[in-house]
Structure 1
């Protein structure tokens, strides 16, 4: 509230000031002959002047009881009108004036702006206009002045109310936009953290799975018990590390962004790593490697890496064939493994999340590619992906 305008923080004081101002204005206007004041005032005139001051002071209630203010000023105007004619107990100095005080302008402003039932408010204003205009004594000047006095307030009220609603709507929209901006910024930070966690999961899982396989091979070929035990401990620790990594970060990959993931030029090293741990891989590349944009090359690398990791986990003893074909508009990746010759290690299989193919498909769809994966008649498994050769990024193609 401290930042609100002064007239919002001190409404009662403002209403009192308005009421006092119109008491003085209408009293001065009446004494000057601008209303019903007679040429020779008597006791009745002075009493009516006091009653008029009280009626105008009802403007203090113009916010809390706007209909009451309209009724009070309307009744006063009606009483003065009846005393002038037909009672003839009061003879104004000028018969062509409007008998209603100027306070009716502010009173007419109240019902449309502060009232709860606008239909009742408009009915009250219509009756007030009828009393002020004195249609039983037709006068174009008086009727025009009366309509202006009782219409200016409601029109101004409707304008200010529409303006207030517009300001509130714009303020709410701005606040909502600000909240959405903060939410989007927070979402972007969350997605970046998720992307980094996913990348760590991909890289570490690939490397540790190689270590586990190498330790398993060492355990089988070592000549002394101490070396075999050390290799078994290393293999167990690697499996435990993979399991903990899965629990900590899961599969949280998002849209491919600029990162340090190797492109297609890293496929040879990837194949060599798998071959070194007992998973023979035959890599064949055809076409011009430079046709693939950086993000497409990294996606192809991820496809092959995920496929080889799955072979090491689920198809021990299988042979793998990787085919990469670079075309003008497309890049085709095919990874096929034969049927496994041994049983997969349960500890190694359980290190995965089971969502590798699903998340890989999502990554491929992000670059507008397609993927097919499934078992083959020979008991193996085949993964095929078709990627667009070019996906625009902020970095130059190589």
Structure 2
């Protein structure tokens, strides 16, 4: 569009006598007018080959000048006019701004300067000295390069500022990541130092009490206390491992799942207390890394606990699908039996089971959805990555 606009302006200006048009145009004048239009249309290629455009317009201007003098084949109406078309202004802008196509910027700039100097000589016609023609010719070929140098310097400045801002953003992100990693390590150390020692003592004392107690009730209570302490230690190892974020092998005994039949045992326990529960497992459980297996175990345990509290008489289906990329866990229960309510058990919880479970699932970069089902029941569904690296146990 710019090339067409300049072509129309130059054609109109030439016919109106603003450049080289003779008073009585002949065949040669009309041919030159057509060649001028083609030369002006070459502006369409000023971005790809700016030097070519300068050469084309310079060659046309030189041809007109030579035909007018010394050949005398063309007699312009006004010898005091600049015979170069107005398109030369835009053509002179290109070589210093669009510097592609050369082996180096320095070489490109040197070539552009030489081409513009020759272009200026052709437009100013120093072999026919005229203050007006030389002044206008210099302005024609100087305004474009000056604007080109200004916009080129501005573009380089904006690019440098953009790169500096991006580098600062990357550095800020790296600093934030480092601070986050240091904070996670500090939290892991605090949990290890403050909590693990006390819980370990509790578990050891409970084990000693189980061995020395004389009555069966005390031994049973001590065993339950010891088992709860061991389970707390295992959960703490999970959290410490996730916080440290250092890879460890899945063969570490501290990172094995609660048991190979952990989910089956949960389902059996639930069925034994009067909650009909069905377990469906698809795929190979070995595809899930230890942390994912424990997270799925705790999700099912929390869901079954909630069913026993809030939906007595309901039937439960636990569906676990193991894939190479994801593990999908779904626990769905029907509506509670008619006339059944949670009773005192419903008031024993803290109400934080689902939120805490959601946070644990987010720690392993999983997603969870929990809500009421259309049939009056309740469902919990979670999608977990099959592999999550954990740190070496600190316990």
Taking structure 2 as the reference length, the TM-score comes to: 0.52
Query: Where do 1:180-199 residues align within 5 Å?
Result: 192-199=183-190
Relative to structure 2, which stretch is displaced further, 71-80 or 216-225?
Answer: 216-225
Query: Are 1:129 and 2:129 an aligned pair?
Result: no
Q: CA deviation at 1:73?
A: 0.6
**96, 119, 124: which one pairs with 1:112?**
96
Aligned counterparts of 2:26 and 2:224: Cα–Cα separation in 1: 118
Query: Are 1:34 and 2:34 an aligned pair?
Result: no
The change in CA–CA distance for 1:243 and 1:22 in structure 2 (over 3 A counts) is: closer
Q: CA deviation at 1:240?
A: 7.3
8 Å contact kept, 1:133–1:146: yes
Query: Are 1:46 and 2:30 an aligned pair?
Result: yes
Q: CA deviation at 1:107?
A: 0.7
**126, 142, 158: which one pairs with 2:149?**
158
Aligned counterparts of 1:226 and 1:52: Cα–Cα separation in 2: 110
Relative to structure 2, which stretch is displaced further, 106-115 or 29-38?
Answer: 29-38
Aligned counterparts of 1:251 and 1:120: Cα–Cα separation in 2: 62
8 Å contact kept, 2:240–2:394: no
* Higher RCO (Cα < 8 Å, 6 or more apart): 2
**Secondary structure at 1:77 match in 2:** helix
Q: Equivalent residue for 2:43?
A: 59
Q: CA deviation at 1:103?
A: 0.5
- Greater CA radius of gyration, 1 or 2? 1
Q: Equivalent residue for 1:147?
A: 138
Structure 2, unpaired ranges of 5+: 103-107, 245-391
Q: Equivalent residue for 1:102?
A: 86
Q: Equivalent residue for 1:307?
A: none
Name the Cα RMSD after superposition. Answer: 3.5
Aligned counterparts of 1:46 and 1:24: Cα–Cα separation in 2: 15
Query: Are 1:18 and 2:14 an aligned pair?
Result: no
8 Å contact kept, 1:201–1:251: no
8 Å contact kept, 1:251–1:353: no
Structure 1, unpaired ranges of 5+: 1-16, 254-350, 355-398
| Count of matched residue pairs | 241
Query: Where do 1:173-184 residues align within 5 Å?
Result: 173-178=164-169
Aligned counterparts of 2:220 and 2:32: Cα–Cα separation in 1: 115
**193, 205, 210: which one pairs with 2:201?**
210
